[in-house]
């Protein structure tokens, strides 16, 4: 059974065709398609107007690549939230009109549920299915959530960020140090040249839910570290590098980044990873998880992947491949598959919901 | 021009809650301050003061650009940090938000003055020593511009 998935909750316009919740026949992401080369897919493709321009060619491309026609499909799935209403509306409205015109059922998917299903899809495909109950850590520029996931598609929120998302902290630290925006992936690349224990960051003890995250204080601590030193010249040098060079190499970055700053990057990254894995481990223990899934854009972070391998997690840890970690529509089509089997269809008057919650 | 001092995040949230009481039902509130000043922290208090959500539910909208809280009384929390061009901000449909009967809290909005309504509240947050913050509230009426 083939499902066409459509995703437009934030920057990317994406469409994909997935068979039986595990076989990706096509997965097209517009910001990569339209800006590849010029910006390398990092320029924000914003809001409704950009999505409007992309939605029809992206869906057509996904169907063509899959060799699928509308009447080969079993359902049409789209992200209904959370996200920007203007952006969500483009994908959801297009999915509704396709559903209306074709008579195929419409399935509404929560974006965060999609990130979780990116992992479930790949694990099934690899023949090592995720065992439930599972702990899901969804960690990206916009989200940092811990969910208990049961086999029958129920979710329970265990913890989340109270201020900045982990990916946001990476990007803001990168920007304040002159690495451009979004620079999270550059922090990851350069962190391995630094000493992760050189700068000690202390986390304030949090009141309330011990499984909640807070990254705002860490960001401010980095800012204070920078302000306490005379880094103007090196920051200016890196900003100049970003202006003249679209994608500086490690060597070019290293030439513009003294060891102290590399140590800061490594220590910052280490602090974020420790926060993520400490709470993930505590959650997995508390709910007696049989698997841990880590997904979302920050799941691409090589330091996090390496640390998760070494962490004393009580069960197997699953990461999606990088292409399925960031926003895509294959995860939306995959998340729709169990709903199709349960015949959990959406009415054509369903509204996009900016603050849609999963649990 | 009222100026306040707070000594902790809790006090900043409590101040936001009090400031919320004096806000018109329809108002743009610019939250102005450098990285780490406490703009999102103050937003937590204002959102709570407006009865739209609990402080723990209010997180940074930097990546997602706009967060919405509340049902009967709607509050929008906007963050333009990651945008560089007015053109990018224009695609968000901000003018549509400003027309609604709602409070719009906006971080990094002062970078795009041409997109903002003349009538608004500006709250400037300055980092003093350690956790201490100075918070200054300015109401700008239509006639002043």
* Mean pLDDT within A84-107: 96
Q: Are A175 and A253 in contact (CB under 8 A)?
A: no
Q: Domains in chain A, please, with CATH?
A: 2-117+324-341 (3.30.420.40), 132-315 (3.30.420.40)
CB-nearest partner of B66 from A84, A162, A171: A84
The pLDDT confidence band at residue B143, using thresholds 50, 70 and 90, is: low
Say if B8 is an interface residue toward chain A (CB within 8 Å): no
* Res. A129: pLDDT tops 60: yes
A180 to each of A167, A226, B109, how far by Cα in Å?
Answer: 14, 16, 20
The pLDDT assigned to A348 comes to: 97
Q: Where are the domains of chain B?
A: 3-140
Residues of A in contact with B80 (CB under 8 A): none
Q: Tell me if B35 and A164 make a contact (CB, 8 A cut-off).
A: no
Please tell me the distance in Å from A67's CA to the nearest CA on chain B.
34
Mean pLDDT across chain B: 93
- ipTM, two decimals, is 0.91
The pLDDT assigned to A41 comes to: 31
* Res. A33: pLDDT tops 50: no
- Chain B residue with minimal CA distance to A42? B82
* Mean pLDDT within A260-272: 98
Cα–Cα dist A306/A248, whole Å: 24
* Res. A241: pLDDT tops 80: yes
* Mean pLDDT within B61-85: 92
- Chain B residue with minimal CA distance to A173? B35
Q: Are B43 and B78 in contact (CB under 8 A)?
A: no
Question: What number of residues does chain B have?
Answer: 145
CB atoms within 10 A of CB B83: 19
- Where is pLDDT greater, at B107 or B85? B107
Q: Tell me if B56 and A223 make a contact (CB, 8 A cut-off).
A: no
Q: Are A149 and A133 in contact (CB under 8 A)?
A: yes
pLDDT tens per residue, range A174-209:
999 999 988 999 999 999 999 999 999 987 777 889
* Res. A293: pLDDT tops 90: yes
pLDDT tens per residue, range B38-61:
999 999 999 999 999 999 999 999
Say if B115 is an interface residue toward chain A (CB within 8 Å): no
Cα–Cα dist B73/B57, whole Å: 16
The pLDDT confidence band at residue A38, using thresholds 50, 70 and 90, is: very low
* Mean pLDDT within A88-100: 97
CB-nearest partner of B36 from A10, A212, A219: A219
Report the CATH number of the B3-140 domain: 3.40.50.300
CB atoms within 10 A of CB B121: 19
* Res. A47: pLDDT tops 80: no
Q: Tell me if A84 and B64 make a contact (CB, 8 A cut-off).
A: yes
A68 to each of A19, A74, A205, A336, how far by Cα in Å?
Answer: 11, 11, 53, 18
* Res. A37: pLDDT tops 50: no
pTM: 0.93
* Mean pLDDT within B59-86: 92
% of residues, chain B, pLDDT over 70: 98
Burial of A356 (0-12, 13-18, 19+ CB in 10 A): buried
* Mean pLDDT within A323-335: 96
* Res. A35: pLDDT tops 90: no
* Res. A298: pLDDT tops 90: yes
The pLDDT assigned to A292 comes to: 98
Q: Please, what is the angle between helix A302-310 and helix A184-191, to 10°?
A: 60
């Amino acid at each position: 059974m083939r499902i066409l998935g459509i995703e437009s909750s934030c920057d990317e316009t994406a469409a994909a065709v997935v068979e039986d919740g595990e076989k990706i026949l096509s997965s097209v992401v517009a910001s990569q398609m339209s800006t590849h080369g010029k910006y390398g897919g990092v320029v924000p493709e914003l809001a409704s107007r950009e999505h409007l321009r992309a939605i029809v060619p992206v869906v057509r491309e996904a169907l063509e690549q899959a060799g699928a026609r509308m009447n080969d499909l079993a359902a049409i799935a789209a992200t209904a939230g959370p996200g920007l209403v203007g952006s969500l509306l483009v994908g959801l409205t297009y999915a509704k009109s396709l559903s209306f015109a074709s008579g195929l059922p419409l399935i509404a998917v929560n974006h965060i549920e999609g990130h979780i299903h990116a992992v479930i899809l790949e694990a099934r495909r690899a023949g090592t299915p995720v065992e439930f109950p599972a702990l899901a850590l969804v960690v990206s520029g916009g989200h940092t959530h811990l969910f208990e996931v049961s086999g029958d598609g129920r979710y329970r929120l265990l913890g989340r960020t109270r201020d900045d998302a982990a990916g946001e902290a990476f990007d803001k630290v990168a920007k304040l140090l002159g690495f451009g925006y979004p620079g999270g992936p550059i922090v990851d690349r350069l962190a391995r040249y630094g000493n992760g224990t050189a700068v000690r960051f202390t986390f304030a003890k949090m009141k309330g839910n011990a499984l909640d995250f807070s990254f705002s204080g860490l960001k401010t601590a980095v800012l204070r570290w920078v302000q306490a030193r005379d880094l103007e010249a090196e920051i200016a040098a890196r900003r100049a590098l970003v202006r003249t060079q679209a994608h500086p190499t490690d060597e070019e970055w290293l030439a513009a980044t003294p060891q102290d700053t590399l140590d800061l990057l490594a220590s910052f990254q280490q602090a974020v990873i420790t926060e993520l894995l400490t709470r993930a481990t505590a959650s997995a223990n508390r709910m007696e998880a049989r698997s841990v899934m880590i997904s979302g854009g920050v799941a691409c972070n090589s330091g996090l992947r390496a640390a998760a391998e070494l962490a004393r997690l009580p069960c197997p840890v699953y990461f999606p491949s990088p292409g399925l970690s960031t926003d895509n529509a294959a995860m939306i089509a995959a998340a729709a598959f169990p709903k199709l089997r349960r015949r959990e269809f959406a009415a054509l008057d369903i509204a996009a919901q900016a603050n849609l919650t999963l649990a | 021009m009222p100026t306040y001092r707070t000594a902790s995040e809790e006090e900043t949230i409590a101040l936001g809650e009090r400031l919320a009481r004096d806000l018109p039902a329809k108002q743009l509130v610019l939250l102005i301050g450098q990285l780490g000043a406490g703009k999102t922290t103050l937003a937590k208090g204002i959102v709570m003061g407006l009865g739209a959500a609990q402080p723990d539910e209010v997180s940074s909208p930097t990546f997602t650009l706009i967060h919405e809280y509340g049902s009967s009384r709607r509050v929008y929390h906007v963050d333009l940090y990651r945008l560089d061009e007015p053109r990018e901000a224009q695609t968000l449909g901000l003018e549509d938000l400003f027309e609604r009967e709602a409070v719009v809290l906006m971080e990094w909005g002062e970078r795009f003055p041409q997109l903002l309504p003349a009538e608004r509240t500006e709250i400037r947050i300055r980092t003093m020593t350690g956790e201490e913050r100075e918070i200054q509230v300015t109401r700008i009426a239509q006639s002043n511009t």
